[in-house]
Structure 1
Amino acid sequence: MQLSSILAPERTLCNLPGVSKKRFLTTISEHIAKTTPGMSGDAIYTALLAREQLGSTGIGNGIGIPHCRVAECQRTTGALITLSEGIDFDAVDAQQVDLLFVLIVPVEETAEHLKVLGALARLFHQDAFCQALRACKSNDELFQTAIHFDEHTD
């Protein structure tokens, strides 16, 4: 999986205010819907919230990978976000989360969903990648850093 196939500059947000998990999920659901034709913020939010109720997608070290499958989603879509301050995300290590990748996948794409999640987990478990993303100061820098790192890493 290449990050550039699922991430776009308009879905890369640097230093969003950190408020709460539900507020973040609401905000990012609306943003993804606005930047992705055919999707509704309500459908995305409902699916993300349902997934979080099964267990937190906070994977530790300040990282969250909220993900879900949505019926109206036509192709795998991602959003990369850094927060200005961490939020409680019920992470496995109880640390505040400040670096998130939101993944929305078509309902019928179970294998794709698992494949992309695995690739994202491997990428976000690399300290250098996460440090580089956290150091970014603009949306464009965040997007370029993520794509560059992904293209130059095994």
Structure 2
Amino acid sequence: MNLTELLNESRILCHADVVSKKRALELASDTLAGQSANPPSEEIFSGLLNRERLGSTGIGDGVAIPHCRLANCTSAVALLMTPATPIDFDAIDNKPVDLLCFLLVPEDGAEEHLQTLAGLAELFSQSDVRDKLRSCESNAELYSTFIKLAETLGA
């Protein structure tokens, strides 16, 4: 799946007021649940939290990609968040996180899940991509910047 198809501007949270990993997961869950085809907030939060218990999705360089597969999820969706201040996410490099891309996929979408995670990891592995996303000041700017970068890189 093309990464640009996963997001829309209603799933962008620039300078989100979150101070912890738990609060970031809660806010993402609440925001995603507020959209028609997604499971309830509690189900999303539980799925994301259970995945984090297996090991942090903080991949380093200030990036985390919290993700899970859910039975009641009908199609893959993502939410992009930049916290107002970096948060501890138990990342592999022990650095705080300031770029989070949440991913929900249907339970039977294992292949799509892996391909999408790989695409996101590749996109966020580039320092210029991270820098451009971090410099955004609004939801609209963060959304348009992500879309442009993903399209430019063919993600």
> What TM-score do you get using the length of structure 2 for normalisation?
0.96
Listed one character per residue, the Cα deviations across residues 106-149 of structure 1 (whole Å, up to 9, x for unaligned) are 00000110010000000000111110000000000000000001
CA distance in 2, matches of 1:36, 1:62: 31
- Identical columns (%): 44
Listed one character per residue, the Cα deviations across residues 24-78 of structure 1 (whole Å, up to 9, x for unaligned) are 1111101100024342100000000000000000000110000000111000000
**RMSD over aligned Cα atoms:** 1.0
Q: CA separation of 1:38/1:118 partners in 2, compared to 1, >3 Å: closer, same or farther?
A: closer
Find out whether 1:106 has 2:111 as its counterpart.
no
Q: CA separation of 1:105/1:128 partners in 2, compared to 1, >3 Å: closer, same or farther?
A: same
CA distance in 1, matches of 2:130, 2:80: 12
Match of 1:55 in 2: 55
How many residue pairs were aligned? 154
Q: Which runs of 5+ in 2 are unaligned?
A: none
Match of 1:134 in 2: 134
Q: Which runs of 5+ in 1 are unaligned?
A: none
> What TM-score do you get using the length of structure 1 for normalisation?
0.97
Match of 1:97 in 2: 97
Q: Is the 8 A contact 2:37 2:73 kept in 1?
A: no
Q: Is the 8 A contact 2:99 2:134 kept in 1?
A: yes
Q: Which runs of 4+ in 1 moved over 3 A?
A: none
CA distance in 2, matches of 1:66, 1:77: 12
